Structure 1
Amino acid sequence: MFESEDGKTYFVKIHAPWEVLATYADVLKIKVPFKANDIPDNSQMPMNWLATPFRLPEHIMHPEPDYFTASFDNSKCDFFLIDNKDTFFPPSTRNRIVYYILSRCSYFRDECGDKDKKGIKRLLNNGTYTAAFPLHDVNANCESDRYNLYKYWARFFCFFKEQPLNLIRKYYGEKIGIYFAWLGFYTEMLLFAAVVGTICFIYGFLTYDDNEWSKEICDEKIGGNIVMCPLCDKKCGYWKLNTTCNSSWQSHLFDNVATVFFAIFMGIWVTLFLEFWKRRQARLEYEWDLVDFEEEQQQLQLRPEYETKCTNRKLNRITQPYLPITSKCARMCLSGATVLFWISLIIACIIGVIAYRLAVYAAFASIMKDSPTSNLQVVGPYITPQLATSVTASCINFIIIMILNLMYERVAIWITDMEIPKTHLEYENKLTVKMFLFQFVNYYSSCFYVAFFKGKFVGHPGNYAYMFGSLSKLRNEECDPGGCLIELTTQLVIVMTGKQVWGNIQEALVPWLMNWWGSRKARNHPESLYSRWEQDHDLQGFGQLGLFYEYLEMVIQFGFITLFVASFPLAPLLALINNIIEVRVDSWKLTTQFRRPVAAKAHSIGAWEEILSGIAILSVVTNAFIVAFTSDMIPRLVYMYAYQPDSQRNMKGYINDSLSVFNISRIQLTTLWIFLCRYRDYRYPPGHEKEYEHTMQFWHILAAKLAFIIIMEHVVFSVKFFVAWMIPDVPSDVRARVKRERYLVQEYLHNYEVEKLKVQLSLNSSNDCTCTPMIYPSLPQHEVLSECL
């Protein structure tokens, strides 16, 4: 026990001797080497020299030779390759064993002996101890693993270097190693999506001058002479089409032929990403001895909270605590109701933001109503009331998202604790599902509204649709004549970029400021008085859910770049830049700003893999609908190929064709008398026998949209399933190594037992003990048991 410099805090350093480590390594079935790997490594890629600038030194990447491993057995220590007992178990394994013991150690038993209190977590919760953590290596020691991680991994100027995953696993454990392996692989795959997305954006920029419909909107003789119907009641007036000139040009950057190609490409890219990750994960499972880990975790590592709260026991093959079915159902129902309540709260907030958009747009239009024809004049050089409303609403929506996140996190943890999951894996999976369902609705609902609802249920002049009914006077929003795609792009950029910037600031700045403030007193004392354990104690705790939030952040980003990527091809580029920073920020935090977390094992990214697969399937549907219903791609193609002569095949006259006519009373607009206003729809003009009903062109366009969705989904899904079938989840060389290792374990254990038996027999013979060999016919002849008479 050590007293701290302040004289108030006491530190207890726990050391586990070899006997303890060996005993619990046997209990936890920890795999250790027993034979050097004799399979030739053919993983060298051709032209491997091209990757030399991105490689780290060999002693950092591969500090240990490759071995075949088997579960440790304390009674067979001489079977394994034990050169030095002090270094046989890596640091991550040692601190995992110690924490396993502490989490199950009883510290109080009542007089009757019926109940006992156990676990370091309980002592931390009741304030007996303030913290429990493994110590970091001394950073000043150039030979330490921590120093090497800081030098070759955590520094930002190493962003182009590969990650030392084996060293991360050795120092922090497999669970953290798997996270950084996945994050690095995801970032590498984003490079391809970012390049293709940037090319599509450049295509939109290079074809800027071929945009005939924007030229017509901006033309004084065409767009300047088209008077549009008011976009809201009473406060909004008539306006000229050419006031939306700028937004029409901006929309072309993202709404062009390349959009369709990129949407299809991303549907295939996400499949390749998931399939190649499965292969990468299978290789790591083998290299890190995680092939059979899930079964061990489920059976051996019950949560201490589960063992403490579940006092009922039932007899089966293993006597273990259990939760009665009635109690489990009641807890599940309460948990589900709580999640539904919070999701309903998000939807209510989104409806409130939509009402804000409608009310503020009318206010903007009223303020800028300086002349009868220019109530939609620009606020600045390029800002219209629609853009101003969209930007402010997106910012308010982002603020609401962050506030609800902070509130819901504690609720999600509380209801997951209330369910009393059996294992740590089950706990994390339950929390993952709850948090992701909430975050999915929280982050994506506003984008879904703009993409699939805004401008779709407007009605027409004389018969408009209203939010909350006609008494509310809040008319449903309309899209610009250029479409809603540019507004979806604005919404996506603000929410996605805002989340990434805020997340990086929160992850890097907050721990640094808290550590700086917490260690202010220690900085006034010499380094000799500021011990290693005190320095670690002043760092921030990583927490059991530290990785959970990192995964959640990346999966939400994955949703942005897949679900709505057809509206913003530069989204993968923004994600790539963020992830390059994210890898270094996370590594810097772990090595310098956080206490060393307790090592944990994980054979995969867990429930996140199923969530990513679900997002990948949903993204094909959403992008198909965005191209069909949010973009104006299909109406333009129908106009060009069905309503233009074969000799023309151009977009001239498209704007006039896409606007319907409404008859109004005679109103003077400055020097112009008008009788008609235009609105975005395909309806018969006044005076027609089917006045204001949808034209045949509307039904042609609708049929083309539905046909496009069906064709795109079938094409992309067919390619996805074919690619998934073509690429095996486990590489052939890994499968061969696993089989080879299992064969060698059986063979070597058999030989070991035979040799051990021979030694025992020779010892018995030398002691002149009369032995009668007993040969069992059902066993091979070499399996002989002897009984000493």
Structure 2
Amino acid sequence: MGENGDFQHCHRTKRNLKFKDGIRTVDFVLTRNLDHAEKQVRRCYFEKNVTEEGLQIEPDDFEEFFANNPFPDHHAATLDKRDESTVQTLRVESCDSKKARFTKIHVPQETLLRYCEIMRIKMKVNLSGLEKDQQSADGHLNNVNSRRVSLTGTLRKVLPKTMIDFLNLNESEGNPILYEYSRGKDYLFGGNVAMSVAPTVRTAVAHYILERTNCGDKKDDPFDTGLTKLLEEGVYLDAFPLHDGNLEPAEECKRTWLLQEWASMVHWIKLQPLTEVKDYFGTHVGMYFAWQGFYTNMLIWASSAGLLCFLFGLVTFRSNQVSQDICRDNSTIMCPQCDAICDYWKLGDTCLSSRLAYLFDNKLTIWFALFMSVWASVYLKMWKRYVSHLQHKWGVRDYDAQVEPPRPQYLARLLERNSKNTNSASMNGVDEQTVKADCAKTVLNTYTGKKEPAPRFWSTKLPSLLYSYSVILLFIGLAVAAVFGFVIYRMSLLTARHIYGDPADVANKRLMFSAVAAIIDLALSIALDVAYNAVAVRMTNIEYHRTQNDYNESLNLKVFLFQFVNYYSSIFYIAFLKGKFPGYPAKYNRILGFRQEECQPGGCLMELSVQLAIIMIGKQTVSLIRDFSIPYFVKQYREWRKRNSKEEDDSVDSNEYTEDDSLISWNERCRYDDYVKMVIQYGFITIFVVAFPLAPLFALLNNVFETRLDAMRYLKFYKRPVPKRVRDIGMWYDIMDVIAKMAVVSSAFIIAFSSTFIPRLVYMSVVNRNKTDEGFLNHTLAYFNVEHFQAGAAPLVTKFHNISMCRYQEYRNPPFGDRPYKRPLIYWHIFAFRLAFIVIYQNVVSTVQGLVNWIIPDTPSRLQEQIKQEQYYINQRIMSGERTKAKRTVRSLDSVAESDPVGNGVLTH
């Protein structure tokens, strides 16, 4: 099947997706039961209003439904809610069963076309009148750029047919011209337009009407509108569109095809069928997978550069002067790593860790950091260009979000606040009308021209925002405090006893402890994720967000901030704080009485690499397992429960409605959680990539599995979502842009202060006459007289005898000579070089990023020319169509004038 394959004409499935007449399609399904009479009355009012809006409904329990419905034709007079006899009758008749019932909804042709125009949905323009030289072989507009060379076109020429088929590089159909549907311009769209409307559009129209229909008999009540409100009240149990088929290989439907060709790991290397994904799930899901696929493809370049950096270190590590000096050294005695219980140790014990550190901190590291900083900028710019193609192809380039109705929870909070204030006013003798006027403020909606209830900013909205973000900041502080507490634990003597008790194995134990600490930190972060997400939801709920989009953006920002602090704080500590201010043996800098942790010779970059690798890879692995296993077991449990119910009650049918109803309900958090996960990963591979050049490679491998498992999850375990139109990935682009800017600063500081690049450069330039790094290790180690130990810091028991001097990693004067233990001049030279490097690095990267943004336009020139060509063609068609309509009008007037020469009934000018 090609990229734009159409399943509407080859659809063969065991599912019955029609009304009982076998003609009308089921475009939406509402789930209900008959356990509450009051809810049944609410349903009757709502469905009456829905039919008046133009939708058609059909319950699965047809006879029982109309027997209990006070509006059997949905056109009866308004039911008086005070008619207790009717409510009692409904209560008696409805309490006999709690079995789920289903109400099917169909969008008739006239309603469909009317709302397609209201919703400004773009449809395919009919090109039947196009000249042959303007028309391509597949019946689409012949693009003026079609002769230009493209990468996929070149690959199609050089690769064998089997490889082209395997990589899904077959030439797809040209993009049709799309234009906003208008019933007044029906000549643009050909014959029966309604028959060519995609199922996702029919579903979107049905949902649009349902969300804007009043729930009761008061047609203008803004507090009682929309399907979401009825779902909140439990009037309906669920609402969803049906999947178009079962997951059986014999069925020919888009769901099965996507499962086999898109969600299967066998096709992991193939390009994603994004158009089919968009046509089945909607633009919002298609856009996520388009971004994920583009991001994954861009990771190939970053992974290649990181792998090259790692392989360079692997090949040349034996020639590294620092590692050679450490491994050959058998006489340098290092000062104890903790107070009292730690012994002296030999520098040569860190041979293995120094060689491992060189794999990540070598001569290519700075060039890799520069590459990744530029890569982040190019990636964001190229995504803008790529998404511009999708926007044009999917008809959302000029789309602006429709005016959203107020959230039911938002209106309920306004009602609740008004009710509380009214009760308080009556108790205190205050005029009730005065309180209502103060609380029930109304504002004019500039889009709809109607007045809507709104909270007052100073007395209602601002306090809720202050409270919410105060709690958010408190929990962010708790996350930082958790990291601080873990650092204190690592500093404690109990930990030090286990690590440094045996001086013969200091280096290996340090490396092992770094790994164990990272695993504990990962487990703690994953556990805190659940608590943080719950707090974020709770705090967002108390805020007054009018629309669902505003609510989602506020919640997403909180969740991202929580995860940012949760997963990055320990890495920030190692990268920027650990070992930077330890002091020296005669005067250690302490926190709560504990000595600060020190870096091993060569810096903390090795420990940073271990921390980053374990947290990043561990988080990705846990997320993959959790995201797939939880929906799987939920589905298995629901199927088991359904089988047991069927054994106990033979009346429980198994059909397409019950099958889809047993799936997990779709909500926006499904998609947003995936976005958060990917953006956090993006932070790992940009902010800290200097410490772990293999991070892009592991991200690439994870995303290959992530894409296919997400696809399988959506197809097998979740209800079909309501399709929504979006222009791009929204706020996530802005967040990634901020992360990319942070990455430049982070890389500069890590190279300057956490690696040995600057000290080695200064040593080779200023100290060593031969301009080599021979002797650099000895240059970084200071001398300390063991008689000058701070009280309680000297080892109580030692295996080393006749020790007068020990070494420690610092730039300080020796105890013999002028200004003992003070900073030498070379330290300030290195510090100045570090600051200069940060400034130069940021300016170089910023200049390159500016050039990238200036040279590469957001919209490709080919696309701009194509858009102009299509606009010209559409204008010509409109002019031709309007001219034809005008001629018909003139002929009609002429015929009327001929039949009525006196002019009776005809306007004269």
| Residue 414 of structure 1: how far off its partner (Å) | 3.2
Q: How does 1:230-269 map to 2 (within 5 A)?
A: 230-269=336-375
Q: What do the CA deviations read for 1:34-66 (whole angstroms, capped 9, x no partner)? A: 233524252643523257666569999888763
Distance 1:479 1:369, change over 3 A: closer
SS in 1 for 2:504: coil
Contact between 2:343 and 2:798, CA under 8 Å: does it hold in 1? no
Query: In 2 relative to 1, CA 33–673 (structure 1 residues): closer, same or farther, beyond 3 Å?
Result: same
Residues 309/71 of structure 1: CA separation in 2 closer, same or farther (3 Å cut):
farther
Once residues 741 and 418 of structure 1 are traced to their aligned partners in structure 2, the CA distance between those partners, rounded to angstroms, is 48
Q: 2 CA distance for matches of 1:58 and 1:201?
A: 29
**1:32 and 1:70 in contact (8 A); partners too:** yes
Note if contact 1:483-1:632 (Cα within 8 Å) is conserved in structure 2: yes
What is the letter of the counterpart of residue 257 of structure 2?
A: N
Residues 1:18 and 2:109 aligned together: yes
* Paired residues for 1:315-394 under 5 Å: 315=444, 318-321=449-452, 322-326=454-458, 327-359=460-492, 362-367=493-498, 375-378=502-505, 383-384=508-509, 386-394=510-518
**Cα gap change, 1:84 to 1:263, in 2 (>3 Å):** same
Post-superposition CA distance 1:84-111 (Å, at most 9, x none): 633x22121111111112222222246x
Q: Structure 2 CA distance, aligned partners of 1:711 and 1:531?
A: 67
Contact 2:185 2:878 (8 Å CA) reproduced: no
**Deviation of 1:27 (Å):** 1.4
Partner of residue 451 from structure 1, selected from 571, 575, 578: 575
CA distance in 2, matches of 1:621, 1:214: 29
2:326 to 214, 217, 228: 217
Are 1:511 and 1:593, in contact at CA under 8 Å, matched by a contact in 2? Answer: yes
Say which of 723, 727, 736 aligns to 1:599.
Answer: 723
Give the equivalent residue in structure 2 for 1:571. 695
How do 1:258-297 residues align onto structure 2 when only pairs under 5 Å count?
258-294=364-400, 297=401
Deviates more, 1:517-526 or 1:424-433: 517-526
**Is the contact between residue 104 and residue 304 of structure 1 (CA under 8 Å) also seen in structure 2?**
no
Q: Given that residues 682 and 695 in structure 1 are in contact (C-alpha distance below 8 angstroms), is that contact kept between their aligned partners in structure 2? A: yes
Gap change, CA 1:280 and 1:103, over 3 Å in 2 = same
Shift of 1:304: 5.5
Which shifted more, 685-694 or 413-422? 413-422
Q: Structure 1's 752 and 334: CA in aligned 2 closer, same or farther, altered over 3 A?
A: farther
- C-alpha change, 1:256 and 1:3, in structure 2 (3 Å) is farther
The structural deviation recorded for 1:213 is: 1.7
Give the aligned partner of residue 296 of structure 2.
187
Q: Distance in 1 between matches of 2:208 and 2:190?
A: 25
Q: Report the CA distance between 1:196 and its aligned residue.
A: 1.3
CA distance in 1, matches of 2:880, 2:561: 53
Is the 1:357–1:390 contact (alpha carbons within 8 Å) kept by the matching residues of 2?
no
**Change over 3 Å in CA distance of 1:669–1:85 after alignment to 2:** closer
Q: What is the CA deviation profile of residues 671-723 of structure 1, one whole-angstrom value per residue up to 9, with x for unaligned ones?
A: 63011121110111113221111111111211222222222222222111111
For 1:278 and 1:338, the matched residues in 2 are separated by 36
In the alignment, does 2:243 pair up with 1:136? yes
Residue number in structure 2 paired with 1:200 = 309
CA distance in 2, matches of 1:331, 1:521: 42
Compute the displacement of 1:575 (Å). 0.3
- Pair 330,738 (structure 1): closer, same or farther in 2 beyond 3 Å: farther
The amino acid across from 2:683 in the alignment is G
Matched, 1:513 2:633: yes
C-alpha separation between the residues in 2 aligned to 1:62 and 1:546?
33
Aligned mates of 1:533, 1:62 — CA distance in 2? 38
* Selected match of 1:739 from 827, 845, 868: 868
SS, match of residue 202 in structure 1: helix
Whether the 8 Å contact between 1:282 and 1:730 is mirrored in structure 2 is yes
Q: Deviations over 1:426-462 (max 9, x none)?
A: 3333223222222211111111110000001111112
Q: State the alpha-carbon separation in 2 of the partners of residues 63 and 90 from structure 1.
A: 19
* Map of 1:674 onto structure 2: 803
Q: Which amino acid aligns with 2:204?
A: R
The CA distance in 1 between the partners of 2:758 and 2:677, in whole Å, is: 35
Residues paired across the two proteins, number: 754
- For the 8 Å contact 2:337–2:500, the answer to whether it is kept is no
Q: Given the two structures, how large is their TM-score scaled by the length of structure 1?
A: 0.89
Cα-to-partner distance string for 1:204-247 (whole Å, 9 max, x where unaligned):
0111111222222222xx3x322222222223222222222221
What is the deviation of 1:348?
1.0
Counterpart residue number, 1:783:
none
Q: 2:282 aligns with which of 170, 173, 182?
A: 173
Per the TM alignment, residue 203 of structure 1 is displaced from its structure 2 partner at its CA by: 0.5
Q: Answer yes or no: is the 8 Å Cα contact 2:687–2:743 preserved in 1.
A: yes
* Deviation readout 1:338-391 (Å, 9 max, x if unpaired): 2212211111111111112112xx324424666xxxx33338xx731x223322
Cα deviation digits, residues 282-329 of structure 1 (max 9, x gap): 0111111111112xx154666565577666433475224244332332
CA gap of 1:655–1:67, structure 2 versus 1, over 3 A, is closer
Q: CA deviation at 1:576?
A: 0.4
Partner in structure 2 of residue 27 of structure 1: 118
**Alignment map for 1:148-159 (pairs within 5 Å):** 148-159=257-268
Distance in 1 between residues matched to 2:830 and 2:524, nearest whole Å: 37
Superposition pairs for residues 304-703 of structure 1, below 5 Å? 312-315=441-444, 318-321=449-452, 322-326=454-458, 327-359=460-492, 362-367=493-498, 375-378=502-505, 383-384=508-509, 386-467=510-591, 472-522=592-642, 529-646=653-770, 649-665=771-787, 669-670=798-799, 672-703=801-832
* Structure 1: 5+ residue stretches without partners: 774-785
Per the alignment, residue 98 of structure 1 pairs with 206
**Contact 1:146 1:591 (8 Å CA) reproduced:** yes
Whether the aligned pair in 1 keeps the contact of 2:121 and 2:180 (CA below 8 Å) is: yes
**Cα separation, partners in 2 of 1:788 and 1:411, compared to 1, 3 Å:** farther
Task: Indicate if the aligned counterparts of 2:223 and 2:408 stay in contact, CA closer than 8 A.
Answer: no
Question: Structure 1 residues 127 and 683 mapped into 2: Cα distance closer, same or farther (>3 Å)?
Answer: same
Most deviating of 536-545 and 445-454: 536-545
Over the matched positions of the two proteins, sequence identity in percent amounts to 35
> Cα–Cα, structure 1 residues 689 and 142, in superposed 2: closer, same or farther, change >3 Å?
same
In the TM superposition, what is the alpha-carbon distance from 1:415 to its structure 2 partner? 2.9
Q: Structure 1's 460 and 203: CA in aligned 2 closer, same or farther, altered over 3 A?
A: same
Q: Which amino acid aligns with 1:171?
A: Y
The 1:603/1:612 distance shift into structure 2, 3 A limit, reads: same
Output one character per residue of 1:640-695: Cα deviation in whole Å (capped at 9) or x when no partner: 2321122xx43332222211111123999546301112111011111322111111
Change (3 A) 1:771 1:553: farther
In 1, Cα distance between equivalents of 2:748 and 2:838 = 5
Within 5 Å, which residues of 2 pair with 1:25-104?
25-36=116-127, 37-40=140-143, 42=146, 44-45=150-151, 46-49=153-156, 50=158, 66-83=175-192, 85-86=194-195, 88-104=196-212
Kept in 2, the 8 Å contact 1:628–1:705? The answer is yes
Q: Measured at CA, do residues 406 and 32 of structure 1 come closer, stay the same or move farther in structure 2, by a change above 3 Å?
A: same
**Structure 2: gaps of 5 or more residues:** 1-58, 63-96, 128-139, 415-439, 789-794
After superposition, the C-alpha distances for 1:544-568 in whole angstroms (9 at most, x for unaligned) are: 2211111110000000001111111
**Deviation for aligned residue 1:539:** 1.3
Q: Paired residue for 1:728? A: 857
